[in-house]
Chain A
Amino acid sequence: MKLKTTLLASSALAFAAMAGTAFAQDVSRENTVIFDLDRTIQDPENFNWMTPGTKRMHGAHQTMWEPLFILNYGTGALDPWLATGFESNAESSEFTISLRDGVEWSDGEAFNADDVVFTTNLAMTNEEISSREASTIRSQVATVEKIDDLTVKFTLNNPNPRFIVENFGVRIFGSFLIMPEHIWSGENAATFTFNLPIGTGPYTFSSAASNRAIWDRNDDWWGAKTGFMDLPAPQRVIFLESGGEESRAQLMASNQLDAAQNVTIGTFEAIQAQNPNVIAWHDGYPYAASDPCARQLEINTTVAPWDNANMRRAVAHIIDRNQIVNVAYEGTTEASRTMFAQYGSMAPFIDAVVEAGYGLPAAADTAGGQALIEAEGWTRDGDYYTKDGETLSVNIHVNSASTEYTRTIDVIVEQLQRAGVDARAVPVENGVFWGEVLPFGGFEMSYSWLSCGSVNEPWASMGRYTVKDVVPVGERSPGFNNTSRWDGPGAEAYSAIVDDIASRQLGDPEVPALVAEAYQYLDAEMPFIPLAQAAKLLPMNTTYWTGWPTADNYYNHPFFWWNHTHQIIHNLEPAN
């Protein structure tokens, strides 16, 4: 799998060289913005985002498909996009969304309430479609109805004050994308390929291959005609798979890339030394923007010996988070104390957990971990623990897309090895990792950030490990929830408390105590082990384009593989 990345890296380089000539005929480099893609596009002919694969983050949901709202991380507000606003009833079980007038699909058809109702019904009725966004809608919505052309009313199964931001607000990565009824109607949403795709965005699809996707500006975009927004400045947007850190850095230094995926701080400093036009979120150290998805070690709780909670807790004891921060992040982040992103808005919940004694220490307690292993009947025999002639071993899957990921696991492997566990890293290509390994439980332990979700309340993260999402190994976890397959009395008690939290209004003063109460089960059973807070160091190039999101120009966060990238592209301005 590693090889694939390497081969693609070289083909990406070849392509980049080609981009200068082959594509220069119609759109010059000055009018093109090139984003880095951290994975292969395994099925470049397929644009059905409701099915698994690289079908939205290769530019489709950054340029072509627009969300209804965009959560602004800077202000905390929900910026309206295809919708203009929403209203809900007192108990948050009915939501009425008002759509923007004048929105058109790129083929000229009007975008209206029919499309929203149609797409929602598609997700609700077709059990086969599996994307996280679609399965969330399916589990939450009871009915959806059209009030008039620009008004849609959702009735929920259970009260959910977060319904809009969770499903339509680009809170984390994506949103539930509305598809054109006049093209999708009559098609089976589980198999339809939606080629040629259309959207409401200012760009239309031009071409795609396994390592790139090209999107061209639609000068007839509705937003410019209605005065919603000016046409974005770039005439062409390219998402290009750069490969590893080295080629990413070289492309950035030679201005063949405008925004790159995460690099280590040493590489960033080297890029900046060669190309002073390259900037990042912060002007100086640590440069990186904090990512709301804290890193963790996911454990498959169905595979022996890790189906034993004490063995999982032993691993948690052995892991030294300080070393992860120092080696994998070169000191640019901090160790996780709980499962939550350490944002100021999350502090009440984190503090409640830590005060209750369930916080994780940054340093290791190897002896404590070994004592737990020995208490389970394992004895140290030479380098490793054995029991009944079997060596205590574990394979840890990790996606190979970034040095950050692989190095974190290298550090953990080393720590486990020294403590007597024969741990091995299994690097896997990003697309395979997310498409085949994680959702189907095809791992013993795995690097992940699947408790990601909460940025200002605890439920979004905690709700991902409830028992209702447990499926057997080999079946797809709904929306990547509870891929640990954590079940049993502890998990049930936890789920009951989390369900209680779910029905409470934002800001309910009892929630922190409930969080701490639920957290005792996570602490006792460790279906996953929080590791470190993620920090993304994304180099952005000001040679051709300015207006990148930074701490000083905080119109939103810089994670350009998210659905909110529309805002970034609209903010870009030619450097000259």
Chain B
Amino acid sequence: MTSQDNVPLTRAQIRQAKRIKRFDNPWMNPKLIWGAGLLLGIIFLGIIGRFIWDLDLVFTGSSPLKLPPLGFENLRGQSGVIDHPIGTDGGGRDLLALIIVGAPNTLFVGLLASFIGMSIGIFLGFSAGFLGGRTDDVIRVGADVMITIPPLLILVVFQSAFGDVTLTMMALLIAGFVWQSPTRLIRAQVLSMKQSGYVQMAQLSGASTGHIMFREMMPNLVPYLFGSFIASVTTSIVTAVGLEVLGLGPQRIPTLGRTIYEAINAGALIQNLWWWWGIPTLLLAVIFIGLLLINLGLDEVSNPRLRKLS
């Protein structure tokens, strides 16, 4: 070990090193890490919870009614018990079991709806931007028309007509309303990228349209697509929770939105059963903050000018 190794770096040097590191790997920015951490936490809760907690407690009548979380008392003067550490709801369901099952469900609907919506959006956006002409007109007008329709309104009608829906069914319905924005954004990006040298070079060398669209251009859009994906996950979850809070989601599959719906419907606010509506609301907040942080982080990845220098 030479003495040189022990010389501490100056402040400026540390800053410099950090800066270079950050430019080296923009994916390691704290916003992204925190955001992903929050979401992984929810997923982790779902996975671990399944092993250590009795999930049959999500069903009506499986637990005593309206017990408060440990360390609190409800209006009747009952205090929380260890068997139900964060309380039970008015239908005799254990809230811990509800969130272990419900929170990943809520996230799942958002991810699935967004994944399908994005896939449609990528396909249509690339086709419109790259092919142009009639195809562009049809896709553009279609997306423009769809973007003006308030999704919740249509979905409410759909869901009421379908009655009890499954999570996947709900995700599919929502996916029908989250493809327009990605389509338009990707189309705009493709239009500008189409003029760039490497695309024209590929065209000159006789590459197929599919090859140029998905092999040449798409990799350049990955951070951008990620950002768009996360934004539509947020939209999808908001829509899904909106439907659930109106009582239109799946009936027997626990979701955070439905738990809030049931709390409101059964007068949890006036009975001061805050854990019943408060804990799902808190988890929804965590999911949304996580998604927002990821989105901000991805912005920095795709747009180097946003990366702060210190």
User: Using Cβ atoms and an 8 Å threshold, which residues of chain A touch B69?
Assistant: none
A424-B164 in contact given A3-B248, A246-B267, A327-B60 (Cβ < 8 Å): yes
Stretch touching chain A among B43-51, B120-128, B268-276: B268-276
**B91-A3 in contact (CB<8A):** no
**A411-B60 in contact (CB<8A):** yes
Give the contact-size bracket for chain A.
35 or more
User: Using Cβ atoms and an 8 Å threshold, which residues of chain B touch A571?
Assistant: none
Instruction: Supply 19 A–B pairs (Cβ within 8 Å), ascending by A.
Output: A1-B160, A2-B247, A245-B266, A246-B264, A264-B90, A264-B266, A266-B75, A269-B75, A270-B267, A326-B61, A327-B92, A330-B65, A400-B247, A403-B266, A407-B90, A418-B59, A424-B164, A425-B164, A425-B251
User: Using Cβ atoms and an 8 Å threshold, which residues of chain B touch A271?
Assistant: 270
Please report which residues of chain B, range 27-73, place their CB below 8 angstroms from some CB of chain A when the two chains form the complex: 59-62, 65-66
**A264-B267 in contact (CB<8A):** yes
Most buried by A among B59, B62, B267: B267
Please report which residues of chain A, range 1-53, place their CB below 8 angstroms from some CB of chain B when the two chains form the complex: 1-3, 6
Main secondary structure of the interface of B (DSSP, over half): loop
**A266-B61 in contact (CB<8A):** no
Residues of B within 8 A of A (CB): 59-62, 65-66, 75-76, 90-92, 156, 160, 163-164, 246-248, 251-252, 264-273
Q: How far is the CA of A323 from the CA of B62 in the complex (A)?
A: 10
**A267-B271 in contact (CB<8A):** yes
User: Using Cβ atoms and an 8 Å threshold, which residues of chain B touch A406?
Assistant: 265
User: Using Cβ atoms and an 8 Å threshold, which residues of chain B touch A6?
Assistant: 246-247
A-B contacts besides A244-B265, A263-B267, A270-B267, 20 pairs, CB < 8 Å: A2-B247, A244-B267, A245-B266, A246-B264, A246-B266, A246-B267, A249-B267, A250-B270, A264-B90, A264-B266, A266-B66, A266-B75, A266-B76, A266-B267, A270-B272, A323-B61, A415-B61, A424-B251, A425-B252, A427-B247
In the assembled complex, the CB of B150 is this many whole angstroms from the nearest CB of chain A, namely: 14
User: Using Cβ atoms and an 8 Å threshold, which residues of chain A touch B92?
Assistant: 327
In the assembled complex, the CB of B255 is this many whole angstroms from the nearest CB of chain A, namely: 15
**A246-B265 in contact (CB<8A):** yes
User: Using Cβ atoms and an 8 Å threshold, which residues of chain B touch A266?
Assistant: 65-66, 75-76, 90, 267, 271, 273
8 Å CB contact of A426 from B60, B66, B156, B164: B164
Closest A residue by C-beta to B273: A266
**B247-A246 in contact (CB<8A):** no
Residues of A within 8 A of B (CB): 1-3, 6, 244-246, 248-250, 253, 263-264, 266-267, 269-271, 273-274, 323, 326-327, 330, 395, 400, 403, 406-407, 410-411, 413-415, 417-418, 424-427
User: Using Cβ atoms and an 8 Å threshold, which residues of chain A touch B251?
Assistant: 424-425
User: Using Cβ atoms and an 8 Å threshold, which residues of chain A touch B59?
Assistant: 414, 417-418
**B60-A249 in contact (CB<8A):** no
Q: How far is the CA of A246 from the CA of B132 in the complex (A)?
A: 54
**B156-A3 in contact (CB<8A):** yes
User: Using Cβ atoms and an 8 Å threshold, which residues of chain A touch B269?
Assistant: 246, 250
8 Å CB contact of A249 from B62, B90, B252, B270: B270
Q: How far is the CA of A407 from the CA of B61 in the complex (A)?
A: 10
**A426-B90 in contact (CB<8A):** no
In the assembled complex, the CB of B236 is this many whole angstroms from the nearest CB of chain A, namely: 19
A3-B270 in contact given A244-B264, A413-B60 (Cβ < 8 Å): no
In the assembled complex, the CB of A256 is this many whole angstroms from the nearest CB of chain B, namely: 14
In the assembled complex, the CB of A297 is this many whole angstroms from the nearest CB of chain B, namely: 16
**A410-B60 in contact (CB<8A):** yes
Q: How far is the CA of A566 from the CA of B61 in the complex (A)?
A: 40
